Amino acid sequence: MKNSLHGFSVSFGILCFALAGSVAAQSDAARVAALKTRVAAMAKETTQVEDITKIQRIGRSFGYYTDKGFFGEAADLFADGATFQWGNDGIYKGKARIKELLTRQGGGSMKEVAGLPFGRLNLRMQLQPVVTVADDGKTAHARWREWDLLGQYQKEISWGDAIMEDDYVKDSGVWKIAARRYYQNFVSPYGDGGWARLKPVNNGQLSKVGQEFPADAKAEPYPMFPASYIPPYHYAKGKPTAIQSDAPVTPPKRADDKIGKLEALADAKALALARAHSVRAIENLQAMYGYYIDKGQWAQASQLFSKDGSYEFGQSGVYISPDHVEKALRLMGPKDLEAGQLNNFVMVQPIIHISDDNRTAKARWRSDVLLSRAGKGRWGGGVYENEYVNDNGTWKFSKLHYYVTFWGDYDEGWQAKPFPMDPPSKETPPDQPPTLVYESFPTTQVVPFHYANPVTQEPHKGE
């Protein structure tokens, strides 16, 4: 009996060992399968981040090509059957027609010669992109701002402003513009009040090029400045859109084995990818904020702030919470602006830093400002030093602070007639006084840097 029990015990031990090995093998197989799934998902996300960069390059390349009269190369950025709606002139179809449109509008030669004639200025700056890529990675949309400096040597000089809404398609792995809707806001001569004294134009009025070079199809007419018009948004019809990234997570503790080390490596790669997504999300967030305040959409702009987010503009004090931010923004004018009011805050030159854990971020932006109201034009310029919070995967402003560099009269220039900053409002008082007391131009104010020198890693020493 004893020997029988001993044999049973040995057999049971061998069985348990075999079962344990089988369970361990199954567990390892499950972990490897989960790793493969994660890696595939991260590869897809990486492609999406790279796609956004490629689309931004297309839009910016368009500006560099048209700047110097390389209109054929600009047209090559479009798909074969692409369309281009130029303001109220109408819709032009196909690359050949688009090339001729760009050449005529850019003042180039209709002969097969690249470049601009002597003395022609055609600077069309492509700014402030909001790019969204479809889940299937085959199509995308983007909103751009164009700021134009145009003219002919010793003959004429003019400004221009436009909003573009683009559709993109991935053709054999290459992104191309499938459709561009170019909503020209105005072109005004420089001097004599500029954009501030433009006269109303007929709704749907064609440009000189549109009259001489008829479009292939009509476009839905829209009013140009000084009328107030909001070009349609491709995202949520202009409502505040959640600027999504990945929700911040704390990586789990991994086993100290071969698979565990691979899992830890995958965790690190996932966090790096999430932080890359966050950079793009914050670019979109800031750009959307700019588009909203351009058109007096104060409610939409305020909803981009966290529940305790703060807003500070120059020396006007600090407003806290979305409701109070909206009240502060209303100080700039009525909802959707009034006729003849221009409120362009151009968002450019970002330097963005995401925290190691992907929970917060900081960014520095430049904003050049074009304003007008009641027939008076104004220049402005300043720097944002902002902070952001990742609210369970949705990026929001936790602190928006605009430091005014200068305000200046359009006709006399900022050097001759700089304006002081506005003090805190008595009608809509801030929640807190200004965090930093300073003066704008002609005084030089160094805006604190949130980052060290990218090369030396030394912090800014200040003055």
pLDDT at 68 over 90: yes
How far apart CA 373 and CA 332 sit, in angstroms, is: 10
Q: Look at residue 413 and give its three-state secondary structure.
A: strand
What DSSP designation does 316 have? S
Q: Which two tokens mark 239?
A: 């409502």
Least confident of 17-21, 81-85, 139-143, 340-344: 17-21
Give the count of alpha carbons within 13 A of 49, CB side only: 20
Q: Say if residue 144's pLDDT is above 90.
A: yes
pLDDT in tens, 154-174: 999 999 999 999 999 999 999
**For residue 463, what pLDDT is reported?**
52
Decide yes or no: CATH 3.10.450.50 for domain 48-212.
yes
Beta bridge partners of 381: 368, 406
What 3-state DSSP class applies to 187?
strand
Cα gap 352→332, rounded to integer Å: 27
| Residues 288-309, mean pLDDT to the nearest whole number | 97
Question: Do 380 and 406 form a contact (C-beta atoms < 8 A)?
Answer: yes
At 420, list the tokens. 């002081």
Tokens standing for residue 363: 């960014």
Q: What is the pLDDT of residues 362-417, one digit of tens each?
A: 999 999 999 999 999 999 999 999 999 999 999 999 999 999 999 999 998 888 88
Query: What are the distances in angstroms from CA 168 to CA 11, 177, 245?
Result: 67, 5, 22
Q: Is 18 left (phi over 0), alpha (psi -120 to 50) or beta?
A: alpha
- Max Cα separation, the chain? 116
At 15 the pLDDT is: 41
Of all residues in the chain, what percent carry a pLDDT higher than 90? Answer: 78
Cα dist. 258→261, 262, 271, 410 in Å? 5, 7, 20, 67
- The answer to whether the pTM exceeds 0.85 is yes
Q: What is the mean pLDDT of residues 130-134?
A: 93
- The chain-wide mean pLDDT, for the chain, equals 90
Q: What is the DSSP string of 77-130?
A: TEEEEEEEEETTTEEEESHHHHHHHHHHHHT--SSS--S--TTEEEEEEEEEEE
Q: In the chain, what percentage of residues exceed pLDDT 70?
A: 92
Instruction: Please name the helix (run of DSSP H) or strand (run of DSSP E) that holds residue 332, with its range, or none.
Output: none
- Per-residue pLDDT band for 237 (boundaries 50, 70, 90) equals low
User: Which of 115, 82, 120 is CA-nearest to residue 98?
Assistant: 82
Q: What is the pLDDT of residue 244?
A: 66
Instruction: Report the distance separating Cα 160 and Cα 150, nearest Å.
Output: 8
Question: Confidence class of residue 26 from pLDDT cuts 50, 70 and 90?
Answer: low
The residue ranges of every structural domain in the chain are 48-212, 248-418
Give the pLDDT band (50/70/90) at residue 7: very low
Q: Is the pLDDT of residue 98 over 70?
A: yes
Distance CA 262, CA 249 (A): 18
Pairing of strands 394-409, 305-313: parallel
Q: Report how far residue 78's alpha carbon sits from residue 169's, in angstroms, rounded to the nearest whole number.
A: 9
DSSP assignment of 431-462 equals SB--SS----TTS---PPPSS--TTT-PPP--
How many residues in the chain? 463
* Res 389: pLDDT: 97
| CATH of region 248-418 | 3.10.450.50
Per CATH, 48-212 and 248-418 having the same topology is answered yes
Q: Cis omega before residue 420 (within 30°)?
A: no
263 with 339: CB under 8 angstroms? no
| Nearest C-alpha neighbor of 103 from the set 78, 72, 79 | 72
Which pLDDT score, from 0 to 100, does residue 11 have?
A: 43
pLDDT band at 241 (very low <50, low <70, confident <90, very high): low
Q: Contact, 225 vs 200, CB < 8 A?
A: no
Least confident of 43-47, 58-62, 178-182, 233-237: 233-237
More confident residue, 382 or 11: 382
Determine if the peptide bond prior to 418 is cis (ω within 30°).
no
- Please give the backbone phi and psi of residue 226, each rounded to the nearest 5 degrees, phi first: -85, 5
pLDDT at 8 over 70: no
DSSP string, 136-167: TSSEEEEEEEEEEEEEETTTEEEEEEEEEEEE
